[in-house]
Amino acid sequence: MNTRDLVLVALFAAIVIVLGLIPPITLGFIPVPITAQSMGVMLAGCIIGAKRGALAFLLFILLVAIGLPVLSGGRGGLAVFAGPSGGFILGWAVAAFVTGLIAERFVHPANSEGRQFAGFFLASVIGGIVVLYAIGVPWLSAVTGTPLLAAATGSLVFIPGDLLKAAIAALAARAVLAGYPLLPVRA
Amino acid sequence: MLTSLYVEGKSWFHRVPVRAKLIALVIVSLLLFATKSLTLLLPAFLLCGSLYLSLGMTLREAISRVGFIFFTILVLALVNLFLLPVPDVAALILRLTSLVLFAAAVTATTTIGAFMDEITILMKPFERLGLLRAADVSLALGLVLRFVPDIFARYQAIREAHRARGLPVRPLTIVGPLIILTLKDADTIAAAIDARGFRRQ
């Protein structure tokens, strides 16, 4: 890993922290506020790729663990990992990695605009939703004793918001690919 | 902007070495998950609660730090009430809240510097295998802390630019420029780091 990759990783972790400072947007038709921070997983994978994206989130998790209030709403500290949603926080690194792997395979700067968007959207959905919930939900079920099926059904509430985030992330990733491409594997 | 969750204080828990606290956290969580008995979990909850409250925070600050997690635990407990017997639900709530309180106590009494020293030691084996360098991790952490205020100022500038043109402020139109502008700096920063020879490459 060269110095540029190291800096990209650090700057992306910093971007994710800033996304947590942006006030959340509440939409009328779904009860869950859209925080820009949870979109960071999809953005990281799609913009800086699998390896650097995962490292950016490992760095972010380290910042949470050492007691900096970097999660949206000024949360942080070891208590976050001890709580029910600890699996989602730790799962972010894996989710960013999978998102990046898919994006690196399916999206090339030479592709048409629509194909790039489709590739980023697919990567965001599989990495940022499927993989993330596959880690977070069983963890939550194990920690809280809530039966797995009930925990999985309950998380369906968040899916519409997540799909919307995947769409926003895909559009933003496409804009970055057009304006300042970083995805082509260099790390 | 990023003030640590460390709380100044002179309680006995402040003086316990970090490593002991982290090992205690692991042991406490293993013990808590090993038992379902309310006669053990209730005293554990009271102990962790009084430890957390004895650290010199105002009650309001103490609650605001763990309030969000407690809210999630309560919501899940309400769901559990329909699916599990009541004593089981009580045990689950006590176990999780105790663990959260203990973890919050460790965070509140440990400085970032102390954590970093411990992390450097934990990374030694990886360093020997050539997988990563402890110095790189510290450098990356420093870069993050240094650049968050700059990036936040950039976000505000983009938002003001939106307002000045009468555009609605939406994540979609903000995130793209924010990321491009920030990552464009990477080359300059990397060149500056290499020019100073921080990484000896």
Confidence of residue A28 (pLDDT cuts 50, 70, 90): low
Provide the pLDDT for residue B68: 86
Contact A79 B186 (CB under 8 A): no
Number of helices followed by number of strands (H, E) in chain B = 8, 0
Quote the radius of gyration of chain B (alpha carbons, Å). Answer: 23
d(CA A50, CA B71): 34
Confidence of residue A161 (pLDDT cuts 50, 70, 90): confident
Those of residues 6-45 in A touching chain B at CB distance below 8 A are: 6-15, 17-19, 21-22, 25, 34, 36, 39, 43
Q: How far is the alpha carbon of B163 from chain A, nearest alpha carbon, in Å?
A: 16
d(CA A6, CA B13): 36
Provide the pLDDT for residue A186: 47
Those of residues 77-96 in A touching chain B at CB distance below 8 A are: 77-85
Provide the pLDDT for residue A146: 87
Provide the pLDDT for residue A187: 42
Provide the pLDDT for residue B52: 94
Contact B183 A47 (CB under 8 A): yes
Report yes or no on whether pTM surpasses 0.95.
no
How confident is the model over A64-93, as pLDDT tens digits?
999 898 988 788 889 999 988 899 999 999
Q: C-alpha dihedral over A16, A58, B124, B145, to 10 degrees?
A: 10
- The complex's ipTM works out to 0.90
More confident site: A30 or B73: B73
Q: Which DSSP state fits A24?
A: P
A34 chain-B contacts, CB cut-off 8 A = 171
